[in-house]
Amino acid sequence: MHALLKRQLKKNLPAHLIENEEMQEFFAAVERSYENYDEKLSMIQRATAISSEELFEANKELRKEAERQKKILASLELAMNSLNSNLDPYEQFQNNSDQQFDVEKLAKHISHLAEEVTQISEEKKLLLQDLETRNESLNNYVQMVSHDLKSPIRNVNALLSWIKDDNENTLTHDSKENIELASSNLIKMDNLINGILEHATIGINMESKMNVDVNILLKEIESYVPLPENVSMVYGAGFPVIHIEKHLIEQIFAYLITNAITATKHLEKGLITISFEDEDQFWKFSVKDNGKGIPQKHQSSIFEMFKKLENNDSAAGVGLALAKKIVKLYNGSIELESEENKGANFSFTIKK
């Protein structure tokens, strides 16, 4: 029994009642009630402690969830603003500081924008499919026309050559010159057809990429490009090894070197300098010459198809246009720096 209660009973009850058997049973019942009370109180205290811990943890989780929801809403708002910059808004949505954030309105707006994006994606897919079909038809047409034109051109050129050989002693000087002029125009037309076909089909049938040592590549080009004795080509060692379709990078260098030779062959000492720079994500190559240069008025169109600066019967005017198209396949660019009679510097980049 509780000590304080025992004391009070002994103080206020007569001794014979305290020792009474029935009274003892009463005291035992009171003591049991105290024990049950203490046990229940202890259980309540333990339950309260557990509930407090659970509530604390739950509050922590709720705070985390609230922060996560805020971040999600902020991300949704940024996404919606980004979509609004490209699409006509279905409903103008503004989250001003003096306005309550309307989640339902935002969700409805994003839903509409998502529908527009889906529709635009479908339209884009159809346009790409149509473009692919058109490109395939165009390429087939170009190849067919090229084949149909090249055969008669070469046949005519061969016939002119036979006529000239068979009548070498009877043809007049003017007739011989006319045959030579006709033959040179046929060669020009054949080169033009080759250029158009190559430009139309470049990038379609790509070779497998390989590691190309640019030092070795330049030596190979130097071995077959007709370099006059008065023109020298200079390039240092240490050029990089790049992973690329070899024939494409070779074409770029061949076009630029051939142009540089044309620009310097009239000089007593023509000089072509090839160099490179490492520009983080790109390789930058330059082909520089000390030749006649390119007038400012022609520089803006120099990379267009059929543009050429000289009346060269063998030139088709597609070399620089081809070089530009190849460079774009590798996310690069090609540029020209030149002044008339002060040489030219063609530089191009290839993404690593």
Paired with 213 in beta bridges are 241
The answer to the question of residue 115 being in a domain is no
Is this prediction's pTM over 0.75?
no
State how far the Cα of 339 lies from the Cα of 294, in Å rounded to an integer. Answer: 6
Residue found by looking up tokens 């049973």 in the block: 25
- In a domain? residue 11: yes
Please tell me whether residues 195 and 214 are part of one structural domain. Answer: no
Mean pLDDT across 6-29:
70
41 or 250, which is more confident: 250
Specify the residue for token string 């990379």.
303
Q: Does residue 297 share a domain with residue 196? A: no
Give the tens place of pLDDT for each residue, 292-321: 988 888 887 888 765 655 544 445 567 788
Q: pLDDT tens digits for 158-202?
A: 888 888 888 888 888 888 888 888 887 777 777 777 666 666 666
d(CA 222, CA 227): 8
State the average pLDDT over residues 223-228: 90
Do the domain assignments include residue 86?
A: no
Instruction: Answer with the residue of higher pLDDT: 236 or 6.
Output: 236
- In this prediction, residue 16 carries a pLDDT of 72
Which pLDDT does position 290 carry in this prediction? 93
More confident residue, 137 or 176: 176
127 is a domain residue: no
Residue 62 domain flag = yes
* Two tokens, residue 35: 């024990």
Instruction: Confirm whether 288 is domain-assigned.
Output: yes
Among candidate residues 73, 101, 130, the one where a domain is terminated: 73
Could you give the CA distance from residue 281 to residue 351 in angstroms, rounded to a whole number? 6
Predicted pLDDT of residue 96: 47
Alpha helices in the chain (DSSP H): 3-12, 15-18, 21-84, 103-166, 173-201, 214-224, 246-264, 296-299, 319-329
Does the structure show a pLDDT above 60 at 240?
yes
Q: Which domain holds residue 39?
A: 3-73
345 and 221: one domain? yes
Quick one: average pLDDT of 3-25? 68
Whether residue 217 is found in the same domain as residue 193: no
**pLDDT for the residue numbered 178:** 86
For residue 290, what is the domain's CATH number?
3.30.565.10
> 343: left (phi > 0), else alpha (psi -120 to 50), else beta?
left
pLDDT (tens digit, 9 = 90+) per residue, 29-58? 666 665 555 555 566 656 555 555 666 676
Could you tell me the pLDDT band of residue 139, with boundaries at 50, 70 and 90? low
pLDDT tens digits, 140-155: 666 666 667 777 878 8
Judged by average pLDDT, the poorest of 4-8, 118-122, 247-251, 271-275 is 4-8
- Which pLDDT score is estimated for 311? 45
Give the per-residue pLDDT at 235: 92
Query: Does 135 map to a domain?
Result: no
Residues 223 and 333 in one domain: yes
Hey, what amino acid is at 288?
Answer: K
Angle between helical axes of 246-264 and 319-329 (0-180°, round to 10): 150
- On whether both 214 and 320 belong to a single domain, the answer is yes
> 225 and 179 share a domain?
no
The reported pLDDT for the residue numbered 206 is 63
Same domain, 175 and 293: no
Among 73, 91, 108, give the residue marking a domain's end.
73
Q: What is the pLDDT of residues 56-105, one digit of tens each?
A: 676 677 777 777 777 777 776 676 666 566 555 444 444 444 455 566 66
Q: Which of 252, 286, 284, 283 is nearest to 272 (CA)?
A: 286
Residue 126: pLDDT over 50: yes
Count of structural domains, the chain: 3
Q: C-alpha angle with apex 222: 217 to 225, nearest 5 degrees?
A: 120
Same-domain check for residues 161 and 231: no
Q: Is the pLDDT of residue 214 over 80?
A: yes
- Last residue of one domain, picked from the residues 166, 201, 236: 201
Mean pLDDT of the chain: 76
Same-domain status, 157 and 243: no
Residue 344 domain-assigned (yes or no): yes
Quick: pLDDT tens for 280-291: 899 999 999 999
Instruction: Say whether both 337 and 231 belong to one domain.
Output: yes
The answer on pLDDT for 269 being more than 90 is yes
Pairing of strands 270-279, 231-235: parallel
